[in-house]
């Protein structure tokens, strides 16, 4: 880490005290969102910080290592998508620790990666629940943006999502349904594929 990045990291971490929300942090803990450290900062406040910082690859890498809620959210916001290598994206997905982060990573970063579809399909097949959530939510964001799979891809998404609707994990079920809904919204043919699969599965 360069001295410049070290100083930026120090200043960013100190600034969290200005936007901390103890009530929000306690509420998150009560809901099972257990971070090593959580200042309870609002997403909008972090987005404002991200705008001031600008895209910054070295700082994003160091922020993610901190395992602090606000550090990781900022890392997602300031990482330049075009500079993020697949192995780094994989590493970040492997180190997801909360449902919130599994949902925010696609929203702020993963959907903008050139290789997002292939990673998302890989995560759907993972045994890790948070990676499954991340995969479904990444695809949901891609579908919303108009990036749609071919026929084979549609069948794979639908099959994986229908199986996930039976999963014991509520976040996985919710992410799978969100993915199916976004796919169905993409057009009549997609709607037909989703409806047919759900009906066949007894939903």
Beta strand extents in the chain (DSSP E only): none
- How confident is the model at residue 29, as a pLDDT? 60
**Within a 10 A sphere around the Cβ of 79, how many other Cβ atoms?**
28
CB 12 within 8 A of CB 63: yes
Q: Encode pLDDT of 117-153 as tens digits.
A: 999 999 999 999 999 999 999 999 999 999 999 999 9
pLDDT in tens, the chain (203 residues): 899 999 999 998 888 777 665 555 555 565 555 666 666 688 999 999 999 999 999 999 999 998 888 999 999 999 999 999 999 999 999 999 899 999 999 999 999 999 999 999 999 999 999 999 999 999 999 999 999 999 999 999 999 999 999 999 999 999 999 999 999 999 999 999 999 999 988 88
The pTM score is 0.89
**Within a 10 A sphere around the Cβ of 203, how many other Cβ atoms?**
12
- How confident is the model at residue 34, as a pLDDT? 63
- Integer Cα distance of 109 and 104 in angstroms: 8
- Integer Cα distance of 126 and 123 in angstroms: 5
Nearest to 9 by CA among 46, 55, 64, 51: 64
């Amino acid at each position: 880490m360069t001295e410049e990045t070290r100083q930026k990291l120090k200043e960013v971490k100190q600034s969290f005290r200005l936007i901390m929300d103890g009530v929000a942090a306690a509420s998150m803990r009560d809901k099972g969102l257990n971070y090593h450290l959580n200042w309870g900062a609002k997403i909008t406040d972090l987005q404002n910080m991200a705008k001031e910082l600008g895209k910054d690859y070295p700082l994003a890498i160091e922020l993610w290592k901190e395992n602090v809620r606000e550090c990781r959210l900022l890392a997602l916001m300031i990482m330049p998508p075009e500079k993020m290598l697949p192995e780094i994206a994989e590493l970040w997905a492997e180190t997801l620790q909360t449902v919130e982060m599994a949902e925010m990573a696609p929203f702020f970063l993963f959907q903008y990666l050139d290789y997002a579809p292939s990673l998302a399909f890989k995560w759907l097949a993972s045994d890790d629940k948070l990676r499954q959530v991340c995969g479904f939510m990444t695809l949901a964001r891609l579908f919303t943006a108009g990036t749609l799979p071919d026929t084979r891809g549609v069948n794979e998404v639908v099959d994986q999502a229908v199986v996930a609707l039976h999963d014991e994990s509520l976040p996985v079920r919710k992410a799978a349904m969100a993915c199916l809904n976004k796919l169905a919204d993409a057009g009549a043919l997609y709607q037909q594929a989703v409806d047919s699969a759900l009906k066949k599965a007894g939903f």
